[in-house]
Chains A and B, each alone.
Chain A
Amino acid sequence: MLSAADVDAVWLTLRLAGLTTLILLLIGTPIAWWLARTRHWLKGPIAALVTLPLVLPPAVLGFYLLVLLGQEGPLGKLTQALGLGLLPFTFAGLVVASVIYSLPFVVQPLQQAFAAIGERPLEAAATLRASPLDAFFSVALPLARPGFLTAAILGFAHTIGEFGVVLMIGGNIPGQTQVLSMAIYNHVEALEYGEAHWLAGGMLVFSFIVLLAVNGRNWRRSP
């Protein structure tokens, strides 16, 4: 069964994924809205930047984050100057890394959902006296709801599964930065396959259920 350390790792992972998803929905929504509607020349570069974590090896991302957030890095100096201390090897550091790592998984479904709404409902809203902000909240958000659900599920699931970035930026500190995938890795290294099975099997079932939920929703939506 699960040891106390394993339970800690599971709990830490859920907290990390939950917090990351929440932050991602907050910052991903304006980014996705802008990307879905702008004709600005910066659209291409910004879209590429947001998508980068999708194709970049996690170790590369983790390495640069470590450098940037480290003692000599520009962001590290900033966090120290702000009295936040250094982020690497802390839970906060994990959150920052996860937000960047999972960004495309949240922004892309949202962007697609916003793009699918099109201009027409928003024009109708404008002719019915709704200001652009009003129309965003009263028309765009409700119509993009399926996209928000997909984005949240994908962002959450993807954060739970990360390994490379977490290893680089978080280390493997039990109770602080030791997440589920780390715990599995430790068990396997120690040849504790039974314990590894409990965690890995749990992940497998969890991932399957997530995909089932996402697909089921999509099936129901198509006529």
Chain B
Amino acid sequence: MSIDARFRITYPGFALAADLELPGRGVSALFGPSGSGKTTLLRAIAGLERWPDARLIVNGETWQDGKAFVPTHRRPLGYVFQQANLFAHLTVRGNLDYGARRAGAAAARVDRERIVELLGISALLERKPERLSGGEGQRVAIARALLSGPQLLLMDEPLAALDLARRNEILPYLENLRDTLDIPVLYVSHAADEVARLADHLVVLDAGRILAQGPLAETLARVDLPIRLGEDAGVVLDAVVVERDRQWSLARVDFPGGELWVRDSGHTIGSRVRVRILARDVSITLERHEGSSIMNTLPARVAEIGDEADPALALIRLHAGAATPENAPEPAGAGSSAILARLTRRSVAWLGLAPGMPVWAQIKAVALIG
């Protein structure tokens, strides 16, 4: 199970060269600023646009190679557009049936009731699309795509057209799907927080080029990339809730290499959560500071120091966790996790930071992202 894609796309004022190798399961995010070619790439993968210089092999089946081209309607995929794009002349039920009927055996394997329930649309079935809110429409569109029994789900910024409240309404549904679906999802987004929350695998695009691709945590922790991420530079850690402190409404989560206190958001002990730590919220001290308002201080080692776009700033990759071997610039080992810190260059010089140095990471803010 994998997706192997190679596209060379050029039109006036734009060129895209992408070689992708994506895992056959989990959510792969195509992440990049507007105009980086994410949507173009996704449409090419769907066959909605046909470019001559391309090769696309999905789960061993050739969808496009040289002259061979499988038209969109013969590709077992689901596509969720930026706008819900529902058929205005059909009810919600009619929209759901549309793909399900045509997909035949593939759709029969889908547990329809579960998807309708997962997306919370069972009360909307008899409505016409014009009577749905933006968030409801998008949930119906996602269900419609899933009910056709796709082997690959493509999502083109499904939340971009929604306001913040609607986005937050849908994100939990998407997380739910991520955890229950067994098909690969390609998720296009320019919003770092969505990617941090949903993705397992990350492809970073800029101006038609792939800057990096790999597992989410590893790719986010690269200090040579966050230049493009700017304020969004940071890492995502997979953690487990191990303690809930009711007096202060806090929860303690464990991750490989340490523990963090976060605001208690109702997760039961034992639940797996993701926490996001932005580089701008991490500072470094040489000794452990007592008498600070900062709750989370982790022992760590400097792994790598990278440049930021701003000449006054530097980005430091730290490996949090006692098991971190000395002088290990490579990805954090099993017992440790990489964390990014953004400091001024002056601070780096003043503290004399260098790879291998033991330090303390002070973390001002940790976001629990589901």
**Chain B residue, CB-CB nearest to A121:** B87
**Chain A residue, CB-CB nearest to B84:** A124
**Chain A residue, CB-CB nearest to B85:** A124
For residue B47, which residues in chain A have a CB less than 8 angstroms away from its CB? 126
Q: Does chain B have a CB within 8 A of A115?
A: no
* Chain B: interface size category: 20 to 34
Beyond A124-B79, A126-B48, is A139–B73 a contact (Cβ under 8 Å)? no
Most buried by A among B71, B73, B74: B73
For residue B91, which residues in chain A have a CB less than 8 angstroms away from its CB? none
Beta-carbon contact of A129 and B48 below 8 Å: no
Beta-carbon contact of B102 and A126 below 8 Å: no
Q: Which of B61-82 contact A (CB under 8 A)?
A: 71-74, 77-79, 81
Beta-carbon contact of A120 and B103 below 8 Å: no
Q: Which of B77, B83, B86 contacts A127 (CB 8 A)?
A: B77
Beta-carbon contact of B89 and A142 below 8 Å: yes
Beta-carbon contact of B48 and A130 below 8 Å: no
Q: Does chain A have a CB within 8 A of B214?
A: no
For residue A42, which residues in chain B have a CB less than 8 angstroms away from its CB? none
Beta-carbon contact of B103 and A127 below 8 Å: no
Beta-carbon contact of A120 and B77 below 8 Å: no
Taking the closest CB of chain B, its distance from the CB of A79, in whole angstroms, is 42
Beta-carbon contact of B88 and A128 below 8 Å: no
Beta-carbon contact of B79 and A127 below 8 Å: yes
Q: How far is the CA of A186 from the CA of B134 in the complex (A)?
A: 62
Beta-carbon contact of A123 and B48 below 8 Å: yes
Q: Which of B46, B79, B98, B103 contacts A138 (CB 8 A)?
A: B98
A-B contact count (CB 8 A): 64
**Chain A residue, CB-CB nearest to B80:** A127
Contact with B along A117-154 (1 / 0, CB 8 A): 00011011111111110110011001101000000000
Q: Which of A126, A139, A143 contacts B72 (CB 8 A)?
A: A126
Q: How far is the CA of A125 from the CA of B74 in the complex (A)?
A: 12
Q: How far is the CA of A132 from the CA of B47 in the complex (A)?
A: 13
Q: Does chain A have a CB within 8 A of B144?
A: yes
For residue A145, which residues in chain B have a CB less than 8 angstroms away from its CB? 89
Q: Does chain A have a CB within 8 A of B145?
A: yes
Beyond A120-B81, A124-B79, A124-B81, is A130–B102 a contact (Cβ under 8 Å)? yes
Q: Which of A120, A123, A125, A127 contacts B78 (CB 8 A)?
A: A127
For residue B88, which residues in chain A have a CB less than 8 angstroms away from its CB? 121, 143
Q: How far is the CA of A132 from the CA of B144 in the complex (A)?
A: 19
Q: Which of A127, A134, A139 contacts B87 (CB 8 A)?
A: A139
Taking the closest CB of chain B, its distance from the CB of A151, in whole angstroms, is 18
Beta-carbon contact of A126 and B71 below 8 Å: yes
**Chain A residue, CB-CB nearest to B82:** A120
Beyond A126-B73, A128-B144, is A143–B89 a contact (Cβ under 8 Å)? yes
Beta-carbon contact of A129 and B79 below 8 Å: no
For residue B145, which residues in chain A have a CB less than 8 angstroms away from its CB? 127-128
**Chain A residue, CB-CB nearest to B149:** A129
Q: Does chain A have a CB within 8 A of B148?
A: yes
Q: How far is the CA of A208 from the CA of B85 in the complex (A)?
A: 38
For residue B87, which residues in chain A have a CB less than 8 angstroms away from its CB? 121, 124-125, 139, 143
Beta-carbon contact of A128 and B99 below 8 Å: yes
Beta-carbon contact of B73 and A129 below 8 Å: yes
Taking the closest CB of chain A, its distance from the CB of B238, in whole angstroms, is 32
For residue B79, which residues in chain A have a CB less than 8 angstroms away from its CB? 123-124, 127
Q: Which of B84-112 contact A (CB under 8 A)?
A: 85-89, 98-99, 102-103
**Chain A residue, CB-CB nearest to B145:** A127
For residue B86, which residues in chain A have a CB less than 8 angstroms away from its CB? 124
Most buried by B among A121, A124, A126, A135: A124
For residue A124, which residues in chain B have a CB less than 8 angstroms away from its CB? 79, 81, 85-87
Taking the closest CB of chain A, its distance from the CB of B155, in whole angstroms, is 11
Q: How far is the CA of A130 from the CA of B74 in the complex (A)?
A: 8
Q: Which of A121, A123, A129, A142 contacts B99 (CB 8 A)?
A: A129
Taking the closest CB of chain A, its distance from the CB of B76, in whole angstroms, is 8
Closest 3 A/B residue pairs (Cβ)? A128-B99, A127-B79, A129-B102
17 new A-B contacts at CB < 8 Å, known A127-B73, A132-B73: A121-B87, A123-B48, A123-B72, A123-B81, A123-B85, A124-B85, A125-B73, A125-B87, A127-B77, A127-B78, A128-B102, A128-B144, A128-B145, A130-B98, A131-B71, A131-B73, A139-B87
Chain B residues with CB under 8 Å of chain A are 46-48, 71-74, 77-79, 81, 83, 85-89, 98-99, 102-103, 144-145, 148
**Can you show 19 pairs from A to B with CB atoms below 8 A apart?**
A121-B88, A124-B81, A124-B86, A124-B87, A126-B73, A127-B73, A127-B79, A127-B145, A128-B73, A128-B144, A128-B145, A129-B73, A129-B74, A129-B102, A129-B103, A129-B148, A138-B98, A139-B87, A143-B89
